[in-house]
Amino acid sequence: MSHTNPTTNAPLERLFEFLRFPSVSTDPARAHDVLACAEWLVARLTAMGLEAESHPTAGHPVVLARNTHRAGRPTVLIYGHYDVQPEEPLAAWTTPPFQPVVRDSVIFARGSADNKGQIFAHIEGVAATLAGRGDLPVNLIFLVEGEEEIGSPHLEAFLNAHRESLHCDVVAISDTGMVAPGIPTLTYGLRGIACLELRVHGPAVDLHSGIYGGAVRNPATELARLLASLHTEKGQVAVSGFYDDVRELEAWEREAWAKAPFGEAQIQAVTGVEAAGGEAGYSALERIWGRPTAEVNGLGGGFQGEGTKTVIPKVAFAKLSFRLVPDQDPARVLECVRRHLVAHCPEGVRVEVELGHSGEPYSTDPHSRFGLAAQRALTRALPGREIALIREGGSIPIVNTFKKVLGVETLLLGLALPDCRAHGPDENFPIANFETGIVLNQALLEEISRA
Amino acid sequence: MSHTNPTTNAPLERLFEFLRFPSVSTDPARAHDVLACAEWLVARLTAMGLEAESHPTAGHPVVLARNTHRAGRPTVLIYGHYDVQPEEPLAAWTTPPFQPVVRDSVIFARGSADNKGQIFAHIEGVAATLAGRGDLPVNLIFLVEGEEEIGSPHLEAFLNAHRESLHCDVVAISDTGMVAPGIPTLTYGLRGIACLELRVHGPAVDLHSGIYGGAVRNPATELARLLASLHTEKGQVAVSGFYDDVRELEAWEREAWAKAPFGEAQIQAVTGVEAAGGEAGYSALERIWGRPTAEVNGLGGGFQGEGTKTVIPKVAFAKLSFRLVPDQDPARVLECVRRHLVAHCPEGVRVEVELGHSGEPYSTDPHSRFGLAAQRALTRALPGREIALIREGGSIPIVNTFKKVLGVETLLLGLALPDCRAHGPDENFPIANFETGIVLNQALLEEISRA
């Protein structure tokens, strides 16, 4: 492979090498690329002066690296992943996804934002500190896995197996985003999720809508009525018990979020909707970051082809997911929803509920000892800008796994921008954000060492 | 082809010959079988003493036959079709669909009930009268088409082109059913139909339900709410203007239908639903025969595969059909529904309505001159049983075409039983019903001649 953008910036050169591995974890044909990427990473971490090793799992390897740990200073685990999403649709890329290029000071490549660019900024930050001082101010563990894009199927077992050697005081992850370019951003909460599939069964076979229509309940109509029953006119979830454990937003949160340069106007621009929607009494960001939802992710039933087939379908289904906020419990929410659906199902059709996967919401205190250290580091990396204390609407299950297995909180220090196109064509990461990440890493380890 | 059930019953032998043609009108590979069936029919009608001809159309031919018409007696057009539905799923048939057999005095074959058995009973009735008396008491026209199962696409043009020679006083059709075995049944009304497809559009692309969920309207949810808005809690259609032109049931109709040996219990048994549903204040038969409906025939949107994909779909759709009763107008109903959907669509999503096919409801007076003649004929064919005066829930568009083009009413004298499995595997028709049909034809032509 030749350099598309020759450069004299050594960290950027190394990032480009990292980005050239098509380490697509979901593709069995790329298993050797994933492995080669892990080995390259071990070599780089070793060359920097860390003790690094690739650990096999039942899937792709986990790369671990550490400095010499010394008593009396905190241990920081920095998590990231070296695997990436598939590059399809290839034709939609301006330049090939695994041939990184810089256009207008922005790096374009699969993995540039998610997560190679972000984890590699931390690695280069550590390299710079080691090069300058010969040691780090903290005990450090890098844990860089190769299966994040396929749901980290072997990570929890790995953490359990290495619980002793992975003992740490705090986890830091840069796999989220900045709320806007140049805004230092600390993410202190994530929504959880709970999924189920609802099926409404009626007649034994699809019926002729002329011969029977009017005298039997239509499962598609009843499905629609059940789905409609999930919300009030004001956009609240109308399931009894659903909000029981929802932690109300604190005044400082609503205040902080109100300053974020992202709201209805931006949502309309990005999504193409003509008007925002959602729960009355909350701003767009509050709805996404701080309030739970009930969403229909898909539905189907009866005749879906061209034209007309006048049947009463025997069954209709919907795939539902619920985004959860602290302190909702996925199992309890699913039970409330199941009870609601059964209770609202009329005679003449039958409801079947199949529970799907779930994950707990996450929140940590941004004003804790390590939270404040992270805020100081962010200010040093991006001076002169007020820190955005945010939550995010999505889920990062690994954060709960760290809490459960290692008993520690996670600092989420996002470096990607809202238009980074993670998972999509033309994924990108500005050079400035990469460089900010390097500075942030150095400041973070220092601030944690003093916390 | 060999006879599976040799018999000495000549009309039944001939029906078996007719049934052996795989005259599947929708299958281009069977075009020669359809043609051969038409030619066989012309030969049979000619042999009986009628003047018969096969008329080419842009599709499959129309078979016409007539006796010598004489002034001073009424002209009766008997309509039927010699084409059949495909036989799939073939494996579900007990014996091959185009090798007719008799089991327990019931004929099993594709087309035995729909419509070869029924139209051939009329043909054999005419043959018997001609053989016995040398003439018929009326001027007769047989019109037997080959495209009923594909929606009679060329019949209206054919009627228009032959309007003069097809001039008649009344049409008779046996392509409906008896309400129960042995019950003489006159169908005097049919529901019409109006179809549309509803699409609810939201964001420009499927959105991540974590990143945006809560702040944009979900098209699948809004589709469900729109579908739910179509009915009241009492099962009425909640569209303004929908019932404006609905003719209320008359006392004699409700009384007659209450006697029919078919109701909620039979519907549950046949369809497998655990309880009947529908509009409050009406019996099951009144709901099917006398009241309009709004049905969801299919719906879809978002992720429908295995497992979970947490998207907010960009679009969701539903296919709707409305069964109509006299004196509803399909165009007017569709406009009421379109207005309802647009009016109930919230900001943030957009409704698209695509109108589909439609057909008017039909009703004729069973107590008219020819209606009473048909009732007398039914009593002669099935003596000692009270006549069931019914409507049906389905649509037979050709009936409205006869009214529009030829200006005449249609007598619907069904001979098939509720469990005849028309369009399905093991389609069947009892020998007794075939024989009743022969008698009915003879009686009908006589009664009409005296009416």
Interface pTM (ipTM) of the complex? 0.89
Q: Is the pLDDT of residue A351 over 50?
A: yes
Q: Is the pLDDT of residue B146 over 60?
A: yes
Q: What is the arithmetic mean of pLDDT over A298-309?
A: 92
A386 by Cβ neighbours in 10 Å (0-12 / 13-18 / 19+) ranks as exposed
pLDDT at A100 (0 to 100): 98
Length of chain B in residues, anyone? 451
Length of chain A in residues, anyone? 451
Q: For A391, name the nearest residue in chain B, comparing CA atoms only.
A: B211
Q: Kindly determine whether residue A284 and residue B215, on different chains, have CB atoms separated by under 8 Å.
A: yes
Average pLDDT, chain A: 95
B230 contacts in A (CB within 8 Å)? 221
Q: Phi/psi zone of residue A245: left (φ > 0), alpha (ψ -120 to 50 degrees), beta?
A: alpha
B225-236 per-position pLDDT tens digit: 999 999 999 999
pLDDT at A21 (0 to 100): 98
The two structure tokens encoding residue A362: 């996450």
Cβ-based contacts under 8 A for chains A and B: 291
Classify domain A10-190+361-450 at the CATH topology level: Aminopeptidase (3.40.630)
A246-301 per-position pLDDT tens digit: 999 999 999 999 998 888 998 999 899 999 899 999 999 999 999 999 999 999 99
SS3 state at B212: coil
Contact call for residues B42 and B53 (beta carbons, < 8 A): yes
Long-range contact pairs involving B7-16 (C-beta distance under 8 Å, separation at least 24) = B7/B102, B11/B120, B11/B124, B11/B127, B11/B434, B11/B438, B12/B107, B12/B431, B12/B434, B14/B44, B14/B120, B14/B124, B15/B100, B15/B107, B15/B116, B15/B117, B15/B120, B15/B124, B15/B434, B16/B100, B16/B107, B16/B109
Q: Phi/psi zone of residue B417: left (φ > 0), alpha (ψ -120 to 50 degrees), beta?
A: beta
Q: How confident is the model at residue A3 (pLDDT cuts 50, 70, 90)?
A: very low
Q: What is the arithmetic mean of pLDDT over B167-194?
A: 96
The two structure tokens encoding residue B2: 């060999």
pLDDT at A7 (0 to 100): 54
Q: What is the arithmetic mean of pLDDT over B410-427?
A: 93
Q: Is the pLDDT of residue A1 over 70?
A: no
B360 contacts in A (CB within 8 Å)? none
For residue B224, which of A232, A196, A228, A296 has the smallest C-alpha distance?
A228
For residue A176, which of A385, A380, A364, A329 has the smallest C-alpha distance?
A364
Nearest-neighbour CA in chain B from A209: distance (Å)? 7
SS3 state at A432: helix
End-to-end alpha-carbon separation of chain B, Å? Answer: 45
CB contact B150 to A (< 8 Å): no
pLDDT at B396 (0 to 100): 87
CATH number belonging to the domain at B192-246+292-359, selected among 3.30.565.10, 3.30.70.100, 3.30.70.360, 1.10.10.60: 3.30.70.360
Nearest-neighbour CA in chain A from B355: distance (Å)? 10
Report the share of chain B in percent with pLDDT over 70.
98
Nearest-neighbour CA in chain B from A123: distance (Å)? 28
CB contact B220 to A (< 8 Å): yes
Residue A315's DSSP bridge partners are A201
pLDDT at B151 (0 to 100): 86
pLDDT at B2 (0 to 100): 38
Q: For B394, name the nearest residue in chain A, comparing CA atoms only.
A: A210
CB-closest option in A214, A223, A303 to B297: A303
CB contact A399 to B (< 8 Å): no
A288 contacts in B (CB within 8 Å)? 211-215
Contact call for residues B451 and B373 (beta carbons, < 8 A): yes
Contact call for residues B340 and B240 (beta carbons, < 8 A): yes
Q: How confident is the model at residue B262 (pLDDT cuts 50, 70, 90)?
A: confident
Q: How far apart are CA B71 and CA A449, in angstroms?
A: 114
pLDDT at B1 (0 to 100): 37
pLDDT at A397 (0 to 100): 87
A164-219 per-position pLDDT tens digit: 999 999 999 999 999 999 999 999 999 999 999 999 999 999 999 999 999 999 99
User: Which of A171-185, A189-203, B3-17, B420-434 bottoms out in mean pLDDT, i.e. has the lowest?
Assistant: B3-17
- Every domain of chain A with CATH number 3.40.630.10 lies at 10-190+361-450
A239 contacts in B (CB within 8 Å)? none
Angle at A332 between CA A330 and CA A337, to 5 degrees: 95
Q: How confident is the model at residue B9 (pLDDT cuts 50, 70, 90)?
A: confident
Q: How far apart are CA B244 and CA B248, in angstroms?
A: 11
Q: Is the pLDDT of residue A349 over 80?
A: yes
Q: Is the pLDDT of residue B82 over 50?
A: yes
CB contact A308 to B (< 8 Å): yes
CB contact B319 to A (< 8 Å): yes
Q: Is the pLDDT of residue A6 over 60?
A: no
Q: Is the pLDDT of residue B32 over 60?
A: yes
CB contact B210 to A (< 8 Å): yes
Q: Phi/psi zone of residue A217: left (φ > 0), alpha (ψ -120 to 50 degrees), beta?
A: beta
Q: What is the arithmetic mean of pLDDT over B333-348?
A: 97
- Every domain of chain B with CATH number 3.30.70.360 lies at 192-246+292-359
- Eight-state DSSP code of residue A231: B
Average pLDDT, chain B: 95
For residue A363, which of A314, A328, A332 has the smallest C-alpha distance?
A328
Long-range contact pairs involving B244-250 (C-beta distance under 8 Å, separation at least 24) = B244/B332, B245/B327, B245/B328, B245/B329, B245/B332, B246/B291, B246/B292, B246/B325, B246/B327, B246/B328, B247/B325, B247/B326, B247/B327, B247/B363, B249/B286, B249/B290
Q: How confident is the model at residue B261 (pLDDT cuts 50, 70, 90)?
A: confident
Q: For A275, name the nearest residue in chain B, comparing CA atoms only.
A: B348
Q: How confident is the model at residue B7 (pLDDT cuts 50, 70, 90)?
A: low
Q: Kindly determine whether residue B299 and residue A295, on different chains, have CB atoms separated by under 8 Å.
A: no
Q: Kindly determine whether residue A297 and residue B323, on different chains, have CB atoms separated by under 8 Å.
A: no
* Kind plus residue range of the DSSP H or E element containing A130: helix A116-133
Report the share of chain A in percent with pLDDT over 90.
90
Report the share of chain A in percent with pLDDT over 70.
98
Q: For B282, name the nearest residue in chain A, comparing CA atoms only.
A: A215
A55-76 per-position pLDDT tens digit: 999 999 999 999 999 999 999 9
Nearest-neighbour CA in chain B from A44: distance (Å)? 34
pTM of the model: 0.88
CA B62 to chain centre: 19
Q: How confident is the model at residue B270 (pLDDT cuts 50, 70, 90)?
A: confident
CB contact A396 to B (< 8 Å): no
Q: What is the arithmetic mean of pLDDT over A223-241?
A: 98
Nearest-neighbour CA in chain A from B26: distance (Å)? 15
A69-99 per-position pLDDT tens digit: 999 999 999 999 999 999 988 999 999 999 9
Q: Kindly determine whether residue A347 and residue B288, on different chains, have CB atoms separated by under 8 Å.
A: no
Q: Is the pLDDT of residue A347 over 90?
A: yes
Q: Phi and psi dihedrals of A222, rounded to 5? A: -70, -35
B57 by Cβ neighbours in 10 Å (0-12 / 13-18 / 19+) ranks as middle
Q: What is the arithmetic mean of pLDDT over A416-422?
A: 91
Q: Kindly determine whether residue A264 and residue B215, on different chains, have CB atoms separated by under 8 Å.
A: yes
B315-325 per-position pLDDT tens digit: 999 999 999 99
For residue A392, which of A192, A189, A186, A184 has the smallest C-alpha distance?
A189
CB contact A313 to B (< 8 Å): yes
Q: For A201, name the nearest residue in chain B, comparing CA atoms only.
A: B273
Q: Which one of A206, A295, A351, A357 would you mutate to disrupt binding with B, by most B Cβ within 10 Å of its Cβ?
A: A295
